[in-house]
Amino acid sequence: MAAVKIVNFVKRFGEVTAVNNLNLEIYEGEIFGLLGPNGSGKSTTLLTIATVYKPTSGDIYVFEHSVSREGDTVRKFVGIAFQEPKAMWVDTPYELLLWHAMIVGYTSHEAKNVVKETMERLNLWEHRKKQFYQLSGGTRKKLEIAKVMIQRPRLAIFDEPTAQVDVITKHALWDVVREMRDNGSTVIVATNDMFEAEKICERIAIMYRGELRTLGSVKELKDQVPGGDVVEVSFEGDREEAKDALLKLDGIGRYMLGNDKIVAYLNKGEERAAEIVSALMSAGIKVKRIMVQEPTLDDVFFYFTGARLGEG
Ligand SMILES: Nc1ncnc2c1ncn2[C@@H]1O[C@H](COP(=O)(O)OP(=O)(O)OP(=O)(O)O)[C@@H](O)[C@H]1O
Ligand SMILES: [Mg+2]
């Protein structure tokens, strides 16, 4: 069963089309990444999965229940940490989380324990008695995340969870996300950060201007960038012969030839390294060293969106 099935989903706000005919499946038990530059429709999609918005057309099914027609059922499955936590309460962080814990079904005794445990884990305990306006942006973010950790929903959604938090907290959050998945939750993370996506997500969808650009593991996305791998071979022997041997191979795009080095761009470089070495050896060239470099994450992002990260 798909945890989330998005079918021909369109969301318009007046004249603005935020999401344009999105089709996507998120499997149960995976950590799924939603990537895209600012304004590409990530939050709109997540908020619709969480039933905050209704689709303009198309539908989204959460564990086979329609967000349009069965909102109450869907809400039981979903927990979401919003991108921008709002001050909707007058309570302290501690009171807020305690209240939240009781709402999602803990007894008062259990609630106290789980709230303390969660706040300590995210270094929130020292802030428990403050007012919302006294909290830093990162601390507000952690409070959002704490809500989802306490809830342990079947589908956990984090909208740019680490955008404002420090490095130590980032690592703690990545651990939390993996742990939730190990305990049976399906997790969706929206992020602008390819590194974060590579670190925790099993599959990634890249959105751009409300549309899906590509879908797959980071490895698969890298392999889709044409001529994306860089293979660097250091050799001893005749450079012209080395070049001729190399160019006989399929799929060599651009290349650069030095006195004792060739750099070539091609796909799936790591799988083809052996082939390159043996072609050169057959031509009487001694290979001293071969290095394969994948495209960088920025290359991948740029290829699929034509935009550097953070651009509108
Ligand atoms: N409530 C709203 N009313 C009007 N327009 C909206 C609303 N919410 C989003 N939009 C527009 O829809 C588009 C997609 O916005 P969305 O917030 O989904 O993008 P995003 O990918 O989450 O961006 P970011 O990385 O900045 O969080 C943008 O053009 C945005 O201005
Ligand atoms: Mg967003």
Q: Is the pLDDT of residue 311 over 50?
A: no
pLDDT given at position 90: 66
CB of 16 shorter than 6 A to ligand 1: yes
Expressed in angstroms and rounded, the spacing between residue 183 Cα and the centre of ligand 1 is 32
b or e along 57-90 (b: 16 or more beta carbons within 10 Å of the residue's beta carbon)? ebbbbbbebbbbeeeeebbebbbbbbbebeeeee
pLDDT given at position 50: 97
Q: Which of 14-23, 83-92, 160-169, 230-239 has the highest mean pLDDT?
A: 14-23
Average pLDDT value over all residues in the chain: 91
Q: Tell me the three state secondary structure of residue 262.
A: strand
Per-residue confidence at 255, pLDDT binned at 50, 70, 90? Answer: confident
Place of tokens 């499946």: 25
Query: Please, are residues 10 and 57 in contact by the beta-carbon 8 Å criterion?
Result: yes
pLDDT given at position 57: 98
- Helices of type H across the chain: 42-49, 71-77, 93-103, 108-121, 137-151, 167-182, 194-200, 218-224, 239-247, 269-282, 297-305
CB of 41 shorter than 6 A to ligand 1: yes
pLDDT in tens, 230-241: 888 999 999 999
pLDDT given at position 263: 86
Q: What domains are there in the chain, each with its CATH number?
A: 2-222 (3.40.50.300), 226-294 (3.30.70.100)
- Which residue would you say has higher pLDDT here, 164 or 201? 201
pLDDT in tens, 81-113: 999 887 666 689 999 999 999 999 999 999 999
Q: Which ligand has the shortest distance to the CA of 34?
A: 1
pLDDT given at position 307: 52
Mutation test residue for ligand 1: of 19, 20, 43, 56, the one with most atoms within 8 Å of CB = 43
Distance CA 190, CA 201 (A): 10
pLDDT in tens, 109-152: 999 999 999 999 999 999 999 988 889 988 999 999 999 999 99
Provide the residue type at 130 as one letter.
K
CB of 40 shorter than 6 A to ligand 1: yes
Q: Which of 59-63, 137-141, 242-246, 267-271 has the highest mean pLDDT?
A: 59-63
pLDDT given at position 229: 84
CB of 39 shorter than 6 A to ligand 1: yes
Expressed in angstroms and rounded, the spacing between residue 162 Cα and the centre of ligand 2 is 12
Compute and round to an integer the Cα radius of gyration of the chain.
24
Relative to the CA of 53, which ligand 1 atom is closest? 1
Per-residue confidence at 268, pLDDT binned at 50, 70, 90? Answer: confident
Q: Is the pLDDT of residue 30 over 90?
A: yes
Per-residue confidence at 312, pLDDT binned at 50, 70, 90? Answer: very low
Contacts of 275 (CB under 8 A, 6+ apart): 249
